[in-house]
Amino acid sequence: MRFDIISVLPGLLESPFAHSILQRAQKKGISEIVVHNLRDYATNKQKSVDDYPYGGGSGMVMTIPPFAACIEKLKSEREYDEIIFMSPDGETLNQAIANQLSIKKNIIILCGHYKGIDQRIRDIYVTREISIGDYVLSGGELPAAVLVDAVVRLIPGVLSDETSALSDSFQDDLLDAPVYTRPADWNGHKVPDILLGGNTPEIEKWRHEQAIERTKARRPDLLNRGE
């Protein structure tokens, strides 16, 4: 699976993709993550990629030509399943969206800055807009890293235990059950007896019940999604 990320600040994405699971996914050849510097596609002497908004107002708007040039170059090299714009007014990222994207082959991600990008880029090229929450960040790079991480970890072969991702929070619209490891008794705080008994069906039943109770207490909205 390949991600092409278009950014005016590619340095912000160096660390997230150079460590841990995302690094291993790339080394295994399971995922390819390529970051493109938008300024490389600017044609003016200053390599600027923004201009004043029509109609006045504060802030600057990212211009069409650099984005269009980069996108068209990438599209000439391969077909893309999605061109995603990370935007606070997009659909909110959740596990279902990550699952959907994990079976795609090639994805372009656009990172905005300043007051946003010219609407015509969104109208002409973007197939999907995704937000990571109801707040505004300085740019789309961190949301892009969050999206890539959420998707790549679901690809078979990325995690050493491939069943781990299937039991994560939100996979069944439930939060995960409490988890424990050694020691079984730490300063009088004990692991629930059922987890020590080795009865797998009863343990799974307990975990499911705990997941429901935790979801009811912390995220009851998840339980109402199907209503």
Query: Is residue 136 annotated as involved in ligand binding?
Result: yes
Q: Which three-class secondary structure state does DSSP give residue 210?
A: helix
Tokens of 170: 């939100």
Q: Which of 174, 167, 57 lies closest to 116 in space, CA to CA?
A: 57
Residue with tokens 């007051």: 115
Length of the chain, in residues: 227
Query: Is residue 133 annotated as involved in ligand binding?
Result: yes
Query: Is residue 84 annotated as involved in ligand binding?
Result: no
Query: Is residue 151 annotated as involved in ligand binding?
Result: no
Tell me how many helices (H) and strands (E) the chain has: 7, 9
Q: Write phi, then psi, for 6 (nearest 5 degrees).
A: -105, 120
Q: Which of 9, 11, 16 lies closest to 62 in space, CA to CA?
A: 9
Query: Is residue 6 annotated as involved in ligand binding?
Result: no
β-strand 185-186 against 189-190: which pairing, if any? antiparallel
Query: Is residue 112 annotated as involved in ligand binding?
Result: yes
Binding site, annotated residues: 112, 132-137
Residue ranges for the known binding site for S-adenosyl-L-methionine are 112, 132-137
